[in-house]
Amino acid sequence: MRLEVTVNDTPYANEIEPRTLLVHYLREVLGLTGTKIGCDTSSCGACTVLVDGESVKSCTAFAAQFNGAVITTIEGLAGTGDLTRVQQAFHEHHALQCGFCTAGMVMAATSLLDEIPNPTEADVREGLEGNLCRCTGYQNIVKAVLAAAER
Amino acid sequence: MTATEITPTDGKGLVKFGQPLLRREDDPILRGRARFTDDIPVPGALYMEVVRSSHAHARIVSIDTSGAKAMPGVVAVYTGGELAEDWKGETPVLIQPDPAPLLAPKWTPVATDKANYVGEPIAVVLAETRAQAADALEAIIVDYDVLPAVATPEDAYTDRVVIHEDLGTNKAYTWELAITPESVEAAFAEAAYTVKQRHIQQRCLPAPMETRAVCAVPDPTGTGNFTLYSSTQMVHLLRTLLALRLGMPEQKLRVVAPNVGGGFGSKLQTYPEESLCLALARRLERPVRWVEDRSECGVAMIHGRGQVQDIELAATADGKITAVRVHLIGDLGAHCKLFTPGIPVLGGPFYHGTYDIPAIAVTVTSVYTNLPPTDAYRGAGRPEATYAIERAVDGLAAVMNMDPAELRRRNLIGPFENGHQTVCMVPLDSGQYELALNRALELVGYEAFRKEQAERRAAGSTKHLGVGMASYVEVCGYAPSRMMAAGGGKFALWGTSVVRFLPTGKVLVTTGSHPHGQGHETSWAQIVSDRLGVPFEDVEVLLNDTAIAPYGVLTGGSRSLSVEGAALAVTCDKVIAKAKTLAAHLLEAAEDDIVFDSGSFAVKGTPARSLPITDLAYTLSFDAHLLPEGMEPNLSAETTWDPPNFTFPFGAHIAVVEVDEETGGVELKQFVAVDDCGNQLNPVLVEGQVAGGLVQGIGQALFEHAAYDADGNPLSPTLADYLVPSAAEVPSFTLDSTVTPSPSNPLGTKGVGEAGAIGSTPAVINAIVDALLPLGVTNVTMPASPMTVWRAIQAAKAANGKETGR
């Protein structure tokens, strides 16, 4: 089937198998490997992208569901320009170690701050519940998101 | 620590040891440009999928691959028997408990006639696309003759079913540490108080966020060389092991670990899929790649922990602990991986914890089960030992009706700066155990908490407050080779480093150890900038590749900074020494009169005449005619450093919980960790390591369990069933440290990668039991889920307050 989407401001049109997951489309067809696959049960959030501004776990959605959608992946947040406030805060607060959860975590945090511009610590912890990290203990991720909110 | 406190440079671009520093690794990751193994584009690669046993113990009667072979895109399907010729050698077991003889079954990357755990590879399929390979996997039909399975170590111990018939028993070895067996018996005979507990160290999934991924690429020019990309913690050791297994010339193989998405010990290993991708790339002369699904990871990756511990303490009337006795059954799983049999034993000499206990006896019997192999997982033996002694000390405090902090103080080993030999003959490096404990008690507000707890108890609340502490000492800095060999190590763990000045004064650095999230690049550049006085930005760190780095054994056991970082410091000193000789020659002064400061050499007392080391790098390269006779024209050095001793990090962790008597729900309200990892190179990274470790330790206490049913079927292989804690399950931690430099290495560091996961688990369970003591609860098994806690409460109530826990 034919899929037309806009990803990171670039329009694409591709023939895909109907069963293609969005994450496989992004990684294997478009070569946007910044989005990761961390599980197969929609539990870890490493594959989180923004679809029309909303966070979506791209491993549990078919690409075919998004015909005509505007998608932003981690590569599209800052491109080669200045880091976004969330990315910059992740750096300044040492909120990433191995970095495998980072793309999903940054996308989820970006979406969270869109919805709740001035979150409490509890808001951040609950808001990121769907994104798992095994390295940081979340301590610095929470600090980073709260700091990003203040910018 | 806030961002504003972090200044990357001093204006000249130099950074100092101990300076909080942000990571240079972050930018490509934050932009989604960093490449992990499965992100690397490899044109023409075949995709491998692995057929795995769906039974824990079964003879493989037949495998029908005909349907799969006929499917679109399928290039080949191989069963274990069809691959037997690819395996020219075996994978050795690198720690064999000494002197106990180890009974270890042989295994091959793909089972041939019998499968011994659910998830064991029994065939592989290769196809042009990932989807075609996955489709073909479904079309392979396996006929099994199912055998009775051994799903617990206790069952294995009975030899009711012997898994490996050629061994004649499930017992792999029995290891005994009995320094003074008579005095242990005497201490128990004379004890005023004794306590006896059984603890189950449940199996845990290491669960790095990146599962494993492998890609083997034959050199397209036909040299017979191969490049293997793997998400591994040990590129060099992996290359050696693959060369042995495949009979491939080691020099023809290059192993690269691109960005590695966490390991926690699980990637300190060689797995069947690495051998398979390489062997099949060799067979088919095409690149072969594989990535592990998360559900696959739950059964195909090593598991951590897996022990049954019986611990007893003897104590005098005033609470002096006089003996500790431990009987332990280690669950090795179906066969031995690289370090499997060594893990239960690794904690053996640490069952006295941080206490001065004069008599100790530890017996470890490890057994094979029809479950995936266990191996090193964050802490590897030390968390288990710490858990048992810290739970037992709390048990003793309860029996004696003594404050657990006071009981600890009465028994802690006193402070020492340079060596303390334990009852187990372990040469501890330096320690101030009471200092760390007191600091943690102060930070948690212990006295005030006890008051609040008493008030709440008096008010008859069903929301019970509890506080639990754990004092720990662990062993890192792997490893002094002679001590390692004495402990059963069949390999050595020295550190390697290379420093090369380029003619323009810039520096290339490599070490054998390589990162999977720790921040080696930032750390090595920091050491070099500090030591050589060159700008941080002028130091390029190259790692993770056997074609670039000197042979490094592995990254694990919290060893990188204390062994490889120390090797780097030694190399920097060699570089300075060489440049100093040249500086003396050029400045026409005696070498003893030359001083080196902030990157420049000068004659004592005449600082105006100075030579920057960066200029000497040029001289040593291109003005070689100016060099003194016999000096090699380069400014480079390398070191292979075998440490004189291990390092022994320590600390104290305290948890505060609220337990709901009605539901069994546990809320972790507060957590304080005071860790001492010796000198801190970069406090930002230290705190990051500690916080991450804490959540893994807390995860084991409250949430995580790689559970199996009685037939050896996995109940929690996916992240939907296996509860890796999320941000919502844990609080913010109060982190602090004491600094007791280690005399074991020139940096004075001890290591901090595992510490968080060691003290936190017993602290949390001690807190839960402390909360429920008035109800008569004396033990809670892990993970302390609401159901488990609720049952413990009901059992205690049913026993009418009598001791029911073991």
> Looking at chain A, which residue has its C-alpha nearest residue B209?
A38
Inter-residue contact B84 to B112 (CB < 8 Å):
yes
Q: What is the mean pLDDT of residues B322-335?
A: 98
Give the H or E element holding residue B114.
Answer: strand B114-115
Enter the ipTM.
0.99
Of A91, A121, A128, Cβ closest to residue B30: A91
Q: Which of A124, A132, A140 sits opposite B719 (nearest CB)?
A: A132
- Cα–Cα distance for residue pair B792/B466, rounded to 1 Å: 15
Tell me the percentage of chain B whose pLDDT exceeds 70. Answer: 98
The arrangement of secondary structure in B493-641, i.e. its CATH architecture, is 2-Layer Sandwich (3.30)
Indicate if the pLDDT at residue B5 is higher than 50.
Answer: no
Give this prediction's pTM.
0.97
Q: Which residue of B26, B211, B687 is in closest CB contact with A91? A: B26
Q: What is the mean pLDDT of chain B?
A: 96
DSSP collapsed to 3 states, B176-221: EEECCHHHHHHHHHHCCEEEEEEEEECCECCCCCCCCEEEEEECCC
Strand ranges in B422-516 using DSSP code E only, listed in sequence order: 427-428, 463-473, 495-501, 507-511
Mean pLDDT of chain A, nearest integer: 97
**Position B385 pLDDT exceeds 80:** yes
pLDDT band per the 50, 70, 90 thresholds, residue B805: very low
Nearest CA in chain A to B685: A94
Q: Report pLDDT for B6.
A: 46
Quick one: average pLDDT of B516-521?
Answer: 97
Instruction: Express each pLDDT in B702-756 by its tens digit.
Output: 999 999 999 999 999 999 999 999 999 999 999 999 999 999 999 999 999 999 9
pLDDT at B3 over 60: no
- Here the tokens at position B547 are 């074609």
For position B607, what pLDDT does the model report? 80
Q: What is the structure's pLDDT at B487?
A: 86
Q: Could you give phi then psi for residue B441, rounded to 5 degrees?
A: -65, -40
Residue of A nearest to B722 (CA): A43
Distance CA A29, CA A8 (A): 14
Contact predicate B703/B721, CB 8 Å: no
CA distance B33 to chain A (A): 6
> Where in chain B are all domains bearing CATH 3.30.365.10?
307-479+645-798, 493-641
Does B488 have pLDDT greater than 50? yes
Question: With an 8 Å Cβ cutoff, are A129 and B685 in contact?
Answer: no
Which is higher by pLDDT, B179 or B697? B697
Return the minimum-mean-pLDDT range out of B12-26, B117-131, B173-187: B173-187
- Residues A38-88: tens digit of each pLDDT: 999 999 999 999 999 999 999 999 999 999 999 999 999 998 899 999 999
| pLDDT at residue number B10 | 63
Domain limits, CATH 3.90.1170.50, in chain B: 44-147+235-245+267-289
Q: B781: which 2 tokens?
A: 């098994």
Q: Do the Cβ atoms of A33 and B264 come within 8 Å? A: no
Residue numbers in A near B718 (CB within 8 A): 39-41, 43
Model pLDDT, residue B1? 43
Q: CA-to-CA distance for B650 and B690, rounded, in angstroms?
A: 12
CB B587 within 8 A of CB B594: yes
Query: What pLDDT, on the 0 to 100 scale, is given for residue B801?
Result: 53
User: Which residue from A100, A132, A136 is facing B724, i.e. has the nearest CB?
Assistant: A132
pLDDT in tens, B544-570: 999 999 999 999 999 999 999 999 999
pLDDT of residue B99: 79
Cβ pair B732:A121 closer than 8 A: yes
CA B44: distance to chain centroid? 36
Look at residue B609 and tell me whether its pLDDT is greater than 90. Answer: no
Q: How far is CA A23 from the centre of its chain?
A: 11
What beta strand segments (E) does B661-745 contain?
Answer: 666-676, 734-737
Nearest partner of B17 among B532, B751, B744, B680, judged by Cα = B680
Tokens 């400014």 belong to B635
Mean pLDDT confidence for B386-390: 98
pLDDT digits (tens, 9 = 90+) for B746-797: 999 999 999 999 999 999 999 999 999 999 999 999 999 999 999 999 999 9
Alpha helices by DSSP H, B446-519: 446-458, 481-486
pLDDT at B178: 79
Chain B positions in Cβ-Cβ contact with residue A38 (cut-off 8 Å): 209-211, 294, 719
Q: Token pair for residue B561?
A: 């900074």
The tens digit of pLDDT for each residue in B134-147 reads: 999 999 999 999 99
Residues of A in contact with B694 (CB under 8 A): 137
- The average pLDDT across B678-682 equals 98
CATH architecture of B44-147+235-245+267-289: Alpha-Beta Complex (3.90)
Considering CB atoms only, which of B29, B294, B732 is closest to A139?
B732
Q: What is the pLDDT of residue B4?
A: 36
Domains in chain A: ranges and CATH? 2-77 (3.10.20.30), 80-149 (1.10.150.120)
Model confidence at B11, in pLDDT bands (50, 70, 90)?
confident
E strand or H helix at B690: helix B683-702
Radius of gyration in angstroms for the set of CA atoms belonging to chain B, rounded to a whole number: 28
Mutate to test the interface with A, among B231, B670, B726, B761 (most CBs of A within 10 A): B726
Distance from CA of A46 to the nearest CA of B (A): 8
B806 pLDDT more than 70: no
CB nearest to A138's CB, from B39, B518, B727: B727
Q: Is the pLDDT of residue B382 over 80?
A: yes
Residue B211: list chain A partners with CB under 8 A. 38
Are A33 and B39 inside 8 Å of each other by CB?
yes
**Which CATH architecture describes the domain B307-479+645-798?**
2-Layer Sandwich (3.30)
Residues of B in contact with A41 (CB under 8 A): 294-295, 718-720
* Predicted local distance difference test score (pLDDT) of residue B2: 40
Q: How far is B20 from chain A (nearest CA, A)?
A: 11
In sequence order, what are the beta bridge partners of B121?
A: B52
**Whole-number pLDDT of residue B181:** 84
- All residues of chain A having their beta carbon less than 8 Å from the beta carbon of residue B728 are 125-126, 128-129
